[in-house]
Chains A and B, each alone.
Chain A
């Protein structure tokens, strides 16, 4: 797995490539949960270069959802490949996370949503 974080004032933004499995997920979990502690309302995950994700990787998204949903925030999943998107659809994760075709659409939605106080 290769992980890159992009600075944004209202969201934790990560670009993840390669395999997200039991071996690589602890690094992602540590960095994502740390970034959410800053009080951001959204998590944006660019999965356009993600080749594989298992339940360990999905668990990081669910844990993030559990933290952000009470703040009125969201977990946005962008650019996921078709064969992975099918798993989100079948298992209902597409109803919990905001699925976007690419990161630009996710950022537009964040910019269009005012911060709740």
Chain B
């Protein structure tokens, strides 16, 4: 059985905390381990924050819809928003920080990129659609390589 989650943010700034609580509840009900629950919430938090930051101007339609599908080995997150075109895959930055190259900007999307096994973007019918795949079995390596 594929578990699904769907949440609409009509007023994103006000609804974001309620969304994250609902995601946590969904992840807990699935029995996901703490690391996957945290990553799922973090990826959604960062992408929704990004939608809000780059979203529609006041007075325009600012709706954001968040969907999650649990397909067994993977979790798929889809964020659909009605803001101006914005491709997060083009702004996700480098994989690992370097001590001499520490920047404050772009940290959220960089985290998403580091956690996602796949990150896709499309624009259709006036909506941004960002799809993230998260693996449930965590196998990535820490950044221990030289500069």
Across the interface, do A87 and B99 meet the contact criterion of CB distance under 8 Å? no
In the complex, how many residue pairs between chain A and chain B have their CB atoms under 8 Å apart?
83
Cβ contacts A96-110/B at 8 Å (1 or 0 each) = 100000000000000
Interface assignment of B46: CB less than 8 Å from any CB of chain A? yes
Please pick, from B35, B46, B104, the residue contacting A86 in the complex, using a CB distance under 8 A.
B35
CA–CA, A95 and B95, complex, Å: 13
Nearest-neighbor residue (CB-CB) of B17 within chain A: A23
Nearest-neighbor residue (CB-CB) of B98 within chain A: A92
Nearest-neighbor residue (CB-CB) of B35 within chain A: A83
Question: Given the interface contacts A66-B102, A89-B142, A96-B97, does A55 sit within 8 Å of B108 by beta carbon?
Answer: yes
Beyond the given A86-B138, A92-B97, please list 19 additional residue pairs across the A-B interface where CB-CB is below 8 A: A54-B42, A54-B46, A55-B49, A55-B110, A56-B108, A58-B107, A59-B104, A66-B104, A83-B37, A87-B39, A91-B97, A91-B114, A91-B143, A92-B96, A92-B143, A94-B143, A95-B143, A95-B144, A96-B102
Interface size, chain B (Cβ < 8 Å): 33
Question: Given the interface contacts A89-B142, A92-B143, does A59 sit within 8 Å of B99 by beta carbon?
Answer: no
Interface assignment of A65: CB less than 8 Å from any CB of chain B? yes
A→B interface (CB under 8 Å): 21-23, 52, 54-56, 58-59, 62-63, 65-66, 81-84, 86-87, 89-96
Min CB distance, A65 to chain B, in Å? 6
Which residues 8-62 of B sit at the A interface, judged by CB distance below 8 A?
Answer: 16-17, 20, 33-35, 37-39, 41-42, 45-46, 49
